[in-house]
A and B are shown apart, each in its own frame.
Chain A
Amino acid sequence: MIRFERVGLRYEHGAEALHDLTFELPEGSFHFLTGPSGAGKSSLLSLLYLARRPTSGTISLFGREVADVARGDLPFLRRRIGVVFQDFRLLDHLSAFDNVALPLRIARRPEAEIHANVSELLAWVGLGEHVDARPSTLSGGQKQRVAIARAVVTRPSLLLADEPTGNVDDRMAVRLLHLFEELNKIGTTIVIATHNEGLLARFRRSVLRLDAGVLACAEGS
Chain B
Amino acid sequence: MRGAMMAKAMLTINDRAASLAVTARELARRLGREPVFARDGGGVLTWIAAAMAMLAALALGAAFIIDDASARWRQALTGQLTVELPPLAPASDAIAASRTEADRLAAALAVLRDSAGIARAEPLSRARVAALVEPWLGGGIGAAGLPLPQLIDVRLSNDGTIDIAALRERLAGAAPGAIVDDHRSWTDGLVRLANIGLAAAISIVILVAAVAALSVVQATRARLALHREAIELLHLIGATDQYIAREFARDALIVAFFGAVIGVASAAAFGAAVLAGAPDFAIGAPALHLGAIGPGGWLVLSSLPLWTAALALVTAWITARRALRRAL
A residues bordering B, Cβ < 8 Å? 49-53, 72, 74-76, 78-79, 83, 89, 91-95, 97-98, 102-103, 106-107, 111-112, 115, 150
Contacts and interface: CB of A to CB of B under 8 A. Distances in A.
Contacts of B234: 102, 106
Contacts of A93: 34, 38
B26 A52 contact: no
A50 B238 CA distance: 10
B238 A79 contact: yes
Contacts, number: 58
Contact of A94 (B34, B229, B232, B328): B34
Nearest to B227: A91
A90 to B, nearest CB: 9
B146 interface: no
Given A51-B328, A92-B38, A107-B238, 13 more contacts: A50-B236, A50-B328, A51-B236, A74-B235, A91-B230, A91-B233, A93-B34, A97-B29, A102-B36, A102-B237, A106-B234, A112-B26, A115-B22
B26 A111 contact: yes
B233 to A, nearest CB: 5
Contacts of A49: 236
Contacts of A52: 328
Given A91-B36, A93-B34, A98-B34, A106 B239 contact: yes
Interface of B: 22, 26, 29-30, 33-34, 36, 38, 229-230, 232-240, 243, 328
A76 B235 CA distance: 10
A107 B238 CA distance: 8
Nearest to A131: B29
A103 B234 CA distance: 8
A51 B38 CA distance: 24
A79 to B, nearest CB: 4
A95 B236 CA distance: 20
B235 A75 contact: yes
B36 A103 contact: no
A75 B236 CA distance: 7
B229 A78 contact: no
A49 to B, nearest CB: 6
B34 A78 contact: no
